[in-house]
Amino acid sequence: MAQVKRITSRDNPLLARAHKLAADPVAYRKLGEVWVEGDHLCSALVEHGGAPSQALVTEAAWDDPRLHELASRAAAVAVLPQALMHRISALESAPPIAFVVPWAGPGALVAGRPSVVLDRLQDAGNVGTILRSAAAFGFSQVVAIKGSAALWSPKVLRAGMGAHFGLNLVEGVETLDGLDVPLLAGSPHATQALHRTALPWPCAWVMGHEGQGVSDALLRRCALTLRIPQPGGEESLNVAAAAAICLYESARQREPE
């Protein structure tokens, strides 16, 4: 049974901590907790067996039977006015509900899993979108090399739309020695076309920095470097769009004829 507390003071320590988690993309590493906001993400967390330690819910949402039940999944519930929720959230329109969830740490590589490797990707929207594609196309692990955007930041979580909770996420990685699957990368300079090449499975697709691409050191380790045909003549695709194409092709080749 969740412990319920009503909060009316803007100086409440819980609200200060929640605001830090919502506003600072790497606060979860310091505080050991992740900020999950909005009923869609909160529902996705619960559906994947997540156990929130704290729910923060507006007074109006607490009176809504569906959101009341969702908030009650947390060990503790704080009910607060909409104005206080607005002070916490970094969004222009504050959500009716949010969870605080214990952070499991940077994660550990699992050998042999189909994976996506993020090589110093900076944009939170790109990272979250790639997580969604990974989950959709059967890649169960995402590995962020040191220098990539924080995987559990609020912006990446929102862009991921719940994909986080079904993936093994590993961040701050400096070596891929424990991955134990072939590495694949895309390059506009490659001679082999993606759709004409038999792709290994399981594998790990490497997605590079938005401006610099995959590092030379990682490219040398790749079993295959492939080109996405672009008959329209554009020199490059957005990395999230390129990732979706590559991951889809891996999934397509596994489909029975």
Residue pLDDT, tens place only, 64-108 = 999 999 999 999 999 999 999 999 998 889 999 999 999 999 999
Rounded mean pLDDT, 214-228 = 95
Residue-range domains of the chain with CATH: 3-102 (3.30.1330.30), 115-254 (3.40.1280.10)
**b/e map of 121-142 (b: 16 or more CB within 10 Å)?**
bebbebbbbbbbbbbebebebb
Mean pLDDT (the chain) is: 95
| Residue (of 95, 92, 119) closest to 39 by Cα position | 95
Tokens of 112: 């042999």
Q: How far is CA 237 from CA 129, 172, 192, 227, in A?
A: 14, 26, 17, 11
pLDDT of 237:
83
pLDDT computed for residue 241 by the predictor: 96
Q: What is the mean pLDDT of residues 95-124?
A: 97
Q: What percent of the chain has pLDDT over 70?
A: 98
Closest CA to 227 of 211, 213, 216: 213
Q: Structure pTM?
A: 0.94
Q: How far apart are CA 63 and CA 175, in angstroms?
A: 49
Give the model confidence (pLDDT) of 146-205 as tens digits. Answer: 999 999 999 999 999 999 999 999 999 999 999 999 999 998 888 999 999 999 999 999
DSSP-derived letter for residue 184 is E
What is the structure's pLDDT at 97?
Answer: 98
| Cross-strand pairs, 80 | 58
Bridge partners of 205, per DSSP, are 116, 184
pLDDT of residue 130: 98
Q: Is the pLDDT of residue 256 over 90?
A: no
pLDDT at 235: 66
- Give the residue-averaged pLDDT of 12-32: 97
> Residue 234: its pLDDT value, please?
63
Three-state DSSP class for 21?
Answer: helix
- Residue 16 scores a pLDDT above 90: yes
49: left (phi over 0), alpha (psi -120 to 50) or beta: left
What φ, ψ does residue 18 adopt, rounded to 5°? Answer: -65, -40
| Complete DSSP assignment for 85-118 | HHHH-SSSS--SEEEEEE---S----TT--EEEE
